[in-house]
Amino acid sequence: MPEGWFTRLDDGPHRFVNMVPQQGKEPLLTYFDRKELYAPEEQQRYEERSLRRGDDILWLGITGWTKPPKHYPACYGTSDNPKIYGTLVTALLMESVLALKTQGIQVDIRHGASDAGVDAAVLRVMEAIPVSGSGVNCPMYMPWVTDDTRGGPVLVAKNKDSYHDLYSQYHQILLVTGGRDVAFHHDYLRRLKGVGCSVVADVMQTVSTTPIPAYDCAPGQDTPQLNNAAAYVREKNSFTYTPVPRSFDELSAITQLTLVDQACRLLKRAPDVAFMESLDDSVVAMRKRGRSQPAVPVSIEELEIRIGDAQQRYLSLS
């Protein structure tokens, strides 16, 4: 059975229609008339109109969960894992984009366009600060895309494989914040085959002393499943940071350091030495404190304060 179809309408009240076949049911139809969308055959036009280019522009991709695992509420003191995860990603991305901005680097963000999880966090950042970006999706996932103007234009690829291939082409650095099999095999591994880099930020570990493991069995399952791509990449690769950050402060500082360093290398720019040394000194100090103090989970309230502060600081630089 085909994954679905997406086409531009020449007449009628809607510009586009997305159709997903359903076994034994009528096809699922979704209409769009507000969002700037490009059909598969319009890829070149999407690239010309939507992808910013320049010596100071970094294409930044991000991957993670649409919904984090449901069977971990006790670890986080809340049953609303999607909310805490989305807030974590928003805060981390906001502070990371701000760090790049201080180095004169403009970010063009690539996302999956859906209004959930990691994509929703990106949309929130793009609403809060004047940062450009655009999305890539496919007919199978378009029913989860809201028909509004948030997030910039969206290219709808022919199918799921084409979607993942195109997404990997449209970013230079991939920020891995969690996710399952798709985040690892389709986003992370495709990035390794390209010419860009990846930065791992296992954000959910900063709200609990018992973070989500790379593999585990959900209730009622006998076979372990990949549940946290960020943890898996960190465990399997010696080039990722060691030891594991014990606080959101430390994770954010390390992410900023790594992103700025990799972005400057890709764009052939020299990072500000004082800025990098200041961040590095902060990480060293936090690690020293961490060896003698228990990890303190960050709260949604604290994260919202950080988001607001990063927003104001970014806007003051614009």
In a domain, 305, yes or no: yes
Range of the domain at 155: 36-317
* Measured torsion, CA atoms of residues 25, 30, 31, 35, in degrees rounded to the nearest 10: -170
Residue 314's H or E segment, with its range, is helix 300-317
**CA-based R_g, the chain, Å:** 20
In a domain, 19, yes or no: no
In a domain, 18, yes or no: no
Mean pLDDT of 13-36: 88
In a domain, 29, yes or no: no
d(CA 187, CA 165): 9
pLDDT at 14 over 80: no
In a domain, 156, yes or no: yes
CB 226 within 8 A of CB 215: yes
pLDDT at 67 over 90: no
In this structure, the number of other CB atoms found within 10 A of the CB of residue 80 comes to 12
- pLDDT attached to residue 30: 93
The 10s digit of each residue's pLDDT in 84-116 is 889 999 999 999 999 999 999 999 999 999 999
- pLDDT attached to residue 189: 65
d(CA 252, CA 15): 41
In a domain, 230, yes or no: yes
In a domain, 6, yes or no: no
- pLDDT attached to residue 199: 86
In a domain, 25, yes or no: no
Number of domains into which the chain is organized: 1
